[in-house]
Chains A and B, each alone.
Chain A
């Protein structure tokens, strides 16, 4: 049985069809990478998964149940930017979710409960290599460190699904490969599904167990907004795909009008 299902999903903004006829069925713990041309609706898809947008039509099911229509602790997110709270130190950022869970009214813990949560958060930060930056504010951290912090903050909640929207898009290539190792480790330990949007095709192939390509199958040059994108390739990645698939995907994801 597949625990995550998308059934005939459509998303429209006014007259613009962004996504159409999206179907998908996955096991709950896959690492799904998503690629596609800019503006084709990848972020929109992720927003529907996180409950920030509602589908115009169709269903999103997790374990047979419709996904809640607002964000919740079962789905963690890391954005490209603004993923961590600027007014909290690294440690406080990671403690926050745990504190909120245990203290509905005060929103913060004191005494022994706080010490326990603090300890857990410090371990979470150590797991992403931030043990030396516990008391720093995000503004004092590098871009890569901020993203690690965001990841630690999200996974400490033990979400069912982790949603990543180009989390490493703003990072240097060298730092990126460190982050790949990190996210794969956390995924293997975490018993969670991962959806990660990337602009880097190589990253998409290397990281995932499954690669989704979003693209338009129908296109009317007179009315570019009449048709939406859908999943045109759904590639299992048990092993490296043969080169001709790579080429087909590269063509599909090239920006419209670019020479191929």
Chain B
């Protein structure tokens, strides 16, 4: 008998095993939903699939009576815009400060500790401050994401720069590179895949901050909708919305991974 660590599933088996937990969750849901509805046909907690499909159709295809918009798409657009701005800005800040801190000892001495402390501030605790300072509009939501995400990307990239073999830095200098050239031709190109990896890891927290901000003060957005319909116990809306957010998050992660693999064939594939 070979050791468990040496026994690998074949292609088909791996696919089947990968699907298994999904199938089990769906079955468990259908079973739960069915039994609860048998006990009480008015139960709203675990709506059957047909009810959820109805709700999605209503939200995705019919214009809302109040605003004339198709709510699912309007919510999605609003949320993605906030998320994109927040994460994009965080990536830019992360790259600029991460590289500066990682490459230039004087900047590291100045900002290194400050950055660690900064990244320890719980972002949700400062959300009220953001609402007071930036108002209840888009800005405060984007800033919340930036505050929550940027310091970690900065720290991660600074650490990645420090991890680059010292030999490469010396080699670059023996090829005549200035500090600027070391940054642009040695450090930055090797950081792109790490930046993508870092952004992938921070997408989860970014969604968290987005939904929290939308739950508290917004007039549209995926998080706003979920917390709005919660008052009516509208699980038929909440569950599809959660699934939709999950799907979007998964899709971004997957696209970023694909992109990193294609654009940086020299890099070791990130998990």
Interface residues of B in 175-216 (CB under 8 A from A): 175-178, 180-181, 184-186, 189-190
Given pairs A50-B170, A82-B165, A87-B266, 13 additional interface contacts (CB within 8 A): A52-B170, A71-B174, A77-B174, A79-B167, A81-B167, A82-B167, A82-B168, A84-B171, A85-B168, A85-B171, A107-B185, A139-B266, A157-B174
Quote the shortest CB–CB distance from B122 to chain A (angstroms). Answer: 37
Which residues of B come within 8 Å of A, CB atoms? 165-168, 170-178, 180-181, 184-186, 189-190, 264-267
Interface residues of A in 122-154 (CB under 8 A from B): 137-139, 153-154
Query: Closest 9 interchain pairs by CB?
Result: A97-B175, A71-B173, A73-B176, A82-B167, A82-B165, A137-B266, A107-B185, A107-B181, A87-B189
**A108 partner residues in chain B, CB cutoff 8 A:** 185
For B185, the closest partner residue in chain A by CB is A107
**A70 partner residues in chain B, CB cutoff 8 A:** 173
**A50 partner residues in chain B, CB cutoff 8 A:** 170, 174
Quote the shortest CB–CB distance from B177 to chain A (angstroms). Answer: 5
Q: Tell me if A96 counts as interface (CB < 8 A to partner B).
A: yes
Contact call B181/A77, Cβ cutoff below 8 A: no
Which of A2-10, A98-106, A207-215, A221-229 has 4 or more CB atoms under 8 Å from chain B? A98-106
CA distance A78 to B190 in the complex (A): 20
CA distance A50 to B171 in the complex (A): 10
**B189 partner residues in chain A, CB cutoff 8 A:** 87-88
Contact call A104/B264, Cβ cutoff below 8 A: no
Quote the shortest CB–CB distance from B26 to chain A (angstroms). Answer: 42
Contact call B185/A96, Cβ cutoff below 8 A: yes
For B178, the closest partner residue in chain A by CB is A104
Question: Once A and B bind, how many residue pairs between them come within 8 Å at the CB atom?
Answer: 78
Contact of A87 among B170, B175, B178, B264 (CB under 8 A): B264
For B164, the closest partner residue in chain A by CB is A82
**B266 partner residues in chain A, CB cutoff 8 A:** 86-88, 137-139
For A76, the closest partner residue in chain B by CB is B174
Interchain residue pairs with CB less than 8 A apart (20): A50-B170, A51-B173, A72-B174, A73-B174, A73-B175, A77-B174, A79-B167, A79-B171, A82-B165, A85-B190, A86-B266, A86-B267, A87-B190, A88-B189, A88-B266, A100-B185, A104-B180, A107-B180, A107-B181, A137-B265
For A81, the closest partner residue in chain B by CB is B167
Q: Tell me if A118 counts as interface (CB < 8 A to partner B).
A: no
**B178 partner residues in chain A, CB cutoff 8 A:** 100, 104
CA distance A87 to B189 in the complex (A): 7
Q: Tell me if A204 counts as interface (CB < 8 A to partner B).
A: no
CA distance A209 to B264 in the complex (A): 44
Contact call A101/B174, Cβ cutoff below 8 A: no
For A84, the closest partner residue in chain B by CB is B171
Contact call B173/A100, Cβ cutoff below 8 A: no
CA distance A104 to B178 in the complex (A): 8
**A82 partner residues in chain B, CB cutoff 8 A:** 165, 167-168, 171
**B265 partner residues in chain A, CB cutoff 8 A:** 137
Quote the shortest CB–CB distance from B268 to chain A (angstroms). Answer: 8
Contact of A104 among B170, B172, B181 (CB under 8 A): B181
Quote the shortest CB–CB distance from B264 to chain A (angstroms). Answer: 7
**B172 partner residues in chain A, CB cutoff 8 A:** 85
Most buried by B among A72, A87, A138, A159: A87
Q: Tell me if A44 counts as interface (CB < 8 A to partner B).
A: no
CA distance A87 to B188 in the complex (A): 10
**B264 partner residues in chain A, CB cutoff 8 A:** 87
Contact call B267/A157, Cβ cutoff below 8 A: no
For B175, the closest partner residue in chain A by CB is A97
Quote the shortest CB–CB distance from A93 to chain B (angstroms). Answer: 9
For B191, the closest partner residue in chain A by CB is A87
**B186 partner residues in chain A, CB cutoff 8 A:** 85
CA distance A243 to B172 in the complex (A): 42
Contact call B176/A101, Cβ cutoff below 8 A: yes
Quote the shortest CB–CB distance from A116 to chain B (angstroms). Answer: 17
CA distance A96 to B184 in the complex (A): 12
Quote the shortest CB–CB distance from B212 to chain A (angstroms). Answer: 38
Contact call A71/B181, Cβ cutoff below 8 A: no
For A137, the closest partner residue in chain B by CB is B266
Q: Tell me if A75 counts as interface (CB < 8 A to partner B).
A: yes
Quote the shortest CB–CB distance from A77 to chain B (angstroms). Answer: 5
Contact call A87/B267, Cβ cutoff below 8 A: yes
Quote the shortest CB–CB distance from B254 to chain A (angstroms). Answer: 23
Q: Tell me if A83 counts as interface (CB < 8 A to partner B).
A: yes
